A and B are shown apart, each in its own frame.
Chain A
Amino acid sequence: MRAVDALMECLKAEGVDVVFGLPGGANLPTYDAFYDAGIRHILVRHEAGGGHAAEGYAKATGKVGVALGTSGPGATNLVTPICDAMMDSVPVVFLTGQVRTELLGTDGFQEADTIGITMPIVKHSFLIQHPLEIPRSIHEAFHIARTGRPGPVVVDIPQDLSRADIPYEPVTDVHLPGYQPTTEGNQKQIRLAAKALANSRRPVLYAGGGVIAGNAAPELTELATVDRFPVTSTVMGLGAFPAPHEQWLGMLGMHGTRAANYAMDEADLIVAIGARFDDRVTGKLSEFAPRAKFIHIDVDPAEISKNVPAHIPIVGDAKNIVPRLTAEYRALAPDPARLEEWWSRIRTWQERHPLRYEDSKDHEIKPQYMIQALFEATGGDAIVASDVGQHQMWAAQYFHFSKPRRWINSGGLGTMGFGLPAAMGAKIGCPDQTVVCIAGDGSVQMNMQELATCAHERVAIKVFIMNNGYLGMVRQWQELFWDRRYSHVEMGQWPDYVKLAEAYGATGMRLEDKATLLEGIREALQTDGPVLVDVRVTREENTYPMIPAGQAARNMVG
């Protein structure tokens, strides 16, 4: 059988039901195999769109996403999604075509050193050197992508090797002697952690994206409610703990709630679960949570004590460790009354500093209000993909996620243009769910072309552009820290998104009046097929509260 037909068998054996890609010279053999392989292929308009769609699919479904590109520019267009998947630990296998082996290293047409270019931003990569390696490498790629700390894996296949005739036998095992992720947490450490929790008077559970990636959201809730532990999460961890819960403090970090940030600041014990103490969370590192001891649970040992030294490190899967920690804690039966003082302090912060904004008194739509309206119109029952910028932070603050895998954003790399294709991938993975994309007028134009893919494939995403005519987050920083010198942040009034949507074969709408906003959003949600909604919002609104970069949490402003 041709190596590419064996490749199809491998994809099927891995349970792949959809791939996102774009053909070219070097992956023509692969595309020939797709012709009748019975695997759904979504023809994207730009490889970056395909890569982000595969990420959105993976984040929404928990399965491994697959993106394809040809050699050279096809592969370099995938670099941003690969890096994005690396930063946010998203399991995606990227299959890239490569020039014929005899042309390797000769600057052949559409040749790029894909493995070299992507080396710092992959979990692992394979350059196929012999056609017989293809089946095993594919299975190893999927295994590496999905296990341990998930991440992107690149498989680069030279065109001539993919045409070779090989005997195909299903591969049922992987041989990776250097890859053995620790999944089971150390019992002694878990017992120690339970004791520390039982002795703490001001604990906080700090959840990250790892709780969602590790499918440990129910276990987190169980731990939190075994006593009354306050819970906060990173932007990646939203949905790991139900937002309406009375123990939920809101998101922490630069644009988190005061309650969450002040609680971290005064905590005596912080339990970090699948979180990595990013600079957007810690602010000034030397003044981060100065009174706290740290329990750090993570499947990646390299994250432990990277930024903040852990007193009790526990390496392994959250799903394995958290329930055992709960059980150990329960056995100690500490007095829950000891947390009362802590809660009354937290309640004071919550009452004094709720998330707030000054709503308009006329027809103007405040961006925060737009998110609230969207939350109301969907009943919170939607997958929300977001782009990067102010709108992302407002969505994180005002859309309350009660379940994991509902909030899909680019947290680590902060990739503008992520939202629309990610929403497309999420909708394809979860066709029965409402999928909306909250975009900025800056971000959305970076992968706008995928609206054509959505129209062509009837992918019914609803894109809401929070249109303020600015690169809003940059404008906010220029206003606050650079003396209002608005250098090159004004986007002007083009394009006309309604006409553009129609040109792409989608439905275009424009909402400019607060009075009819909710109704308009409902209409957009009920319209068949992809919809692009241009929502005109306040031009110069700032995202608050905010920890100014490099400052301590207690110095929040706004």
Chain B
Amino acid sequence: MGEPGTKEILSLDELEAAGNLRTGRKHILSILVENKPGVLTRIAGLFARRGFNIDTLAVGPTDDEAFSRITLTLDGAVHPIDQVTKQLHKLVNVLKIRDLEPQETLARELALFKVSADGVSRAEVMQVCEIFRGKIVDVTKRSVVVEVTGTCDKIDAFEQLVRPFGLIEMARTGEIAISRGRGET
């Protein structure tokens, strides 16, 4: 790639190739932070500056009210993930960061699906819902709202199955995660 200040003309293809490398490996980061204003902005800003796209993000309280936990998932893209975790550690309000290993981690997400369901299709939607251990939380003459929890893959699968019935809307929380066993995440 061309160096700044030199004359070399860059092709758009080159630029795009450099910007779009995705390794496809998903990371779940669990970040324990001080419960202070602006913390989320600092973290999100850091990812943006390093060229990471955050896929999902969930923030909530922990057992200690002084701290919050941020769970985010992202693609370990162009830059090695450890550079971004080191940068995160430098944020004064960040206490702990774990790049969670999938096999040692329980990850769950909650999703709400609003699906078209009139007379004919309703039974079928309810059947799919049952298989996924979803809950119908709202019913009208022409639609249902289904609540599903599970791993991100399970929710993707549910989405695929109900889409043909007419998926009106979907809302997902993004995954939250905790490590297996007695040890702290």
Known: A119-B42, A177-B34. A477 touches B95 (CB 8 A): no
B60: min CB distance to chain A, Å: 18
A144 within 8 A of partner (CB): yes
Query: Which of B34, B38, B90 is A127 in contact with, Cβ under 8 Å?
Result: B38
Is the CB–CB distance between A115 and B89 below 8 Å? no
Given the complex of chains A and B, what is the CA–CA distance between A300 and B87 in angstroms? 10
Nearest neighbor of A549 in chain B, beta-carbon distance: B3
In the complex, whether B6 has a CB less than 8 A from a CB of chain A is yes
| B-chain residues with CB within 8 Å of residue A115 when the two chains form the complex | 38
Residues of B within 8 A of A177 (CB): 34, 95
With a CB–CB cut-off of 8 A, which chain B residues contact A123? 90, 92
The smallest beta-carbon distance between A303 and chain B, in angstroms, is 9
Which residues on B sit within 8 Å (CB–CB) of A302?
83, 86-87, 89-90
Q: A302-B86, A481-B6 are in contact. Are A178 and B91 (CB under 8 A)?
A: yes
Asked whether A24 is an interface residue with its Cβ less than 8 Å from the other chain, the reply is no
CB distance from A76 to the nearest CB of B (A): 18
CB pair A124 B92 closer than 8 Å: yes
Report whether B4 and A549 are in contact in the complex, using a CB–CB cutoff of 8 Å: yes
Chain A residues within an 8 Å CB radius of B37: 127, 129
A residues 122-143 in Cβ contact with B at 8 Å: 123-125, 127, 129
Question: Which partner residue on chain A sits nearest B1 by CB separation?
Answer: A550
* CB-defined contacts of B83 to chain A, threshold 8 Å: 302, 306
Which residues of the other chain, B, contact A125 by a CB distance below 8 angstroms?
A: 38
Query: Whole-angstrom distance from the CB of B15 to the nearest CB of chain A?
Result: 16
Quick check: B6 and A301 within 8 Å, CB to CB? no
Contact between A179 and B38, CB atoms less than 8 A apart: no
Given the known interface contacts A178-B91, A178-B92, A178-B95, the answer about A119 and B45 at a Cβ–Cβ threshold of 8 Å is yes
Q: Is the CB of B6 within 8 A of A549?
A: yes
- Does residue B49 face the partner (Cβ distance < 8 Å to A)? yes
Query: Size of chain A's interface in residues, with CB distance under 8 A?
Result: 25
Which positions 258-306 of chain A face chain B at CB distance < 8 Å? 300-302, 306
Question: A119-B41, A129-B37, A481-B7 in contact; A176/B86 too (CB < 8 A)?
Answer: no
The answer on a CB contact under 8 Å between A116 and B41 is yes
Q: Assess whether B145 is interfacial by the CB under 8 Å rule.
A: no
463-507 of chain A: CB within 8 A of chain B? 477, 481-483
Is B146 an interface residue, CB under 8 A from the partner? no
Q: Does the CB pair A301–B89 fall under 8 Å?
A: yes
Q: How far is the CA of A481 from the CA of B90 in the complex (A)?
A: 39
Cβ contacts under 8 Å, B87 to chain A: 302
Question: Which chain B residues border A129 with CB–CB below 8 Å?
Answer: 37
* In the complex, chain B residues 37-81 whose Cβ is within 8 Å of any chain A Cβ: 37-38, 41-42, 45, 49
Q: Is the CB of A550 within 8 A of B6?
A: yes
- Answer whether residue A120 sits at the interface, using C-beta atoms and an 8 A cutoff: yes
Most B CB within 10 A of own CB, among A127, A176, A179, A482: A179
- Nearest-neighbour CB distance to chain B for A306, whole angstroms, equals 6
B143 within 8 A of A: no
- Which residues on the B side are within 8 Å of A482 (C-beta)? 7
Interfacial chain B residues near A306, Cβ < 8 Å: 83, 86
Contact of B45 among A120, A179, A300, A548 (CB under 8 A): A120
Give the complex CA separation of A548 and B86 in angstroms.
31
Residue of B nearest to A483 (CB): B7
Asked if B94 is at the interface (CB within 8 A of a chain A CB), the reply is yes
Chain A 173-189 near chain B by CB (<8 Å), digits 1 or 0: 00011110000000000
Interface centre among B38, B45, B49, B94 (most CB of A within 10 A): B38
Does B5 reach chain A (CB closer than 8 Å)?
A: yes
- Contact with B49, one of A120, A144, A548 (Cβ below 8 angstroms): A120
Chain A residues whose CB sits within 8 angstroms of the CB of B2 once the complex forms: 550
Flag whether B93 is at the interface (Cβ < 8 A). yes
Provide the residues of chain A in CB contact with B176, threshold 8 Å: none
Verify A300–B38 contact, CB threshold 8 A.
no
Which parts of B85-114 form the interface with A (CB within 8 Å)? 86-87, 89-95
Select from chain B the residue with minimum beta-carbon distance to A124: B92
Q: Is B33 an interface residue (CB 8 A)?
A: yes
The residue from B3, B34, B94, B95 contacting A550, defined by CB atoms under 8 A apart: B3
Q: Smallest distance from the beta carbon of A143 to chain B beta carbons, Å?
A: 10
Docked-complex contact B5 and A176, CB < 8 angstroms: no
A477 surroundings in chain B (CB, below 8 A) = 5
26 pairs, A vs B, C-beta closer than 8 Å: A116-B41, A119-B41, A119-B42, A120-B49, A123-B92, A124-B91, A124-B92, A176-B92, A177-B34, A178-B92, A178-B95, A179-B92, A300-B90, A302-B83, A302-B90, A306-B83, A477-B5, A481-B5, A481-B6, A481-B7, A482-B7, A483-B7, A549-B3, A549-B6, A550-B3, A550-B6
- Using a CB–CB cutoff of 8 Å, the interface residues on chain A facing chain B are 115-116, 119-120, 123-125, 127, 129, 144, 176-179, 300-302, 306, 477, 481-483, 548-550
B residues whose Cβ falls under 8 Å from a Cβ of A: 2-7, 33-34, 37-38, 41-42, 45, 49, 83, 86-87, 89-95
Top-4 shortest CB links A-B: A550-B3, A302-B86, A549-B3, A124-B92
